[in-house]
Structures are given as structure tokens and as C-alpha cells.
Amino acid sequence: MTQKQTAHTGGTVRGGGGNERDHKKHTTPRPAGQPVYSTDGKRVIGTVTGDTFTTKRAASKHMLRKPPAWAIDRAPLQRLASQGVTTVVVHDTEGRLVYTASIADFARYGFVIDRGYGVQAALKLGHWRVEVEGSDEFERAVTAFQLGLWGE
């Protein structure tokens, strides 16, 4: 390129546009793990890493109120179980709470619902381990409180 051509395009003779600060590289971070799709295959409902299925949900919109429970599309959950996934993790996007349960608990204590969003497997909150993201201290406090309720 000639000096006149590079000046016209906003560059220099040595190259480059000189506008790097104006053109920041914006990339959307990819979620870790393999995507898991809804029953209809139209949207990603979470990811699988190793033997753990992880999803992010807003409790005010997605947590069942009666009874208090988390629900996951049933068909993908069954498919994950057949592929060796053993754990389900729900990150509440409105707070720092992380809910963890085993797929075996879904089979043992869960129930099937269809409230207009397709067939889902639901598990009451009492069967989930609840933690504050990044806080072991919270878990110890909850355990101590629960033991106190039982007189231990």
C-alpha cells in the first residue's frame, strides 16, 4: 500500500489502523462443558462437565413455589443419567446460592410435573444441598443450625 492509500484508510505506512483502543475485541465467553438442549432441541438448558450437569436459573421465575422445588426437563435428565451424569447443579442467578443434588435423588424422591412447559422431573428443596457460592463458612453455619433443630 502506498502512503496515500494507508492514510486514506486510517493506517500508517508501516501498517495497522492505529485505532486499537476504538476497536476492542468483544467476545462472548463460551460456557465450559458440553451444551445440553431442551426437549424440543431449541435452547440450551445447561452444560455437562464430567459427571455433572450445571444450569443457571432465576429462582423468582423458575423455582416451583408449591411445593418449593427445582424442575428440569425430564427427557434430557433421563438422557444425562444414561450417559453417566450423576450430579445436578443449579446456580441461582439472582443470588449466590448453588443447589446440588444427585440424579439418584431425582429417581428416589422426585416427582413428574407438566405445568405447561413440558414434562419435567422436580425435586423438593429439602433434597438439595444449598451453598453460598464460594463460602464454606455458610455451609458450616447451616449444618450447625440444622443439627440444633434436631437437638444434636
Average pLDDT score over residue span 125-152: 71
Q: How far does CA 18 lie from the centroid of its chain?
A: 40
The 10s digit of each residue's pLDDT in 71-126 is 999 999 999 999 999 999 999 999 889 999 999 999 999 999 998 888 999 999 99
The pLDDT of residue 124: 96
The pLDDT of residue 23: 47
Please give the residue that has the higher pLDDT: either 81 or 141. 81
Beta-strand (E) ranges in the chain?
34-37, 44-49, 52-57, 64-65, 68-73, 87-92, 97-102, 111-113, 120-124, 129-132
The pLDDT of residue 113: 94
Own/partner pairs for 145-149, CB < 8 Å, 24+ apart?
A: none
The 10s digit of each residue's pLDDT in 42-72 is 889 999 999 999 999 999 998 999 999 999 9
Rounded CA separation 19/81 (Å): 51
The pLDDT of residue 115: 87
The pLDDT of residue 31: 54
Which residue from 117, 94, 90, 91 is spatially nearest to 103, judged by alpha carbons? 90
- Do 127 and 101 touch, CB atoms closer than 8 A? yes
The model scores a pTM over 0.85: no
The 10s digit of each residue's pLDDT in 11-35 is 555 555 555 455 455 555 555 689 9
Is pLDDT of 140 > 70?
A: no
Angle (CA) 73 77 80, round 5°: 145
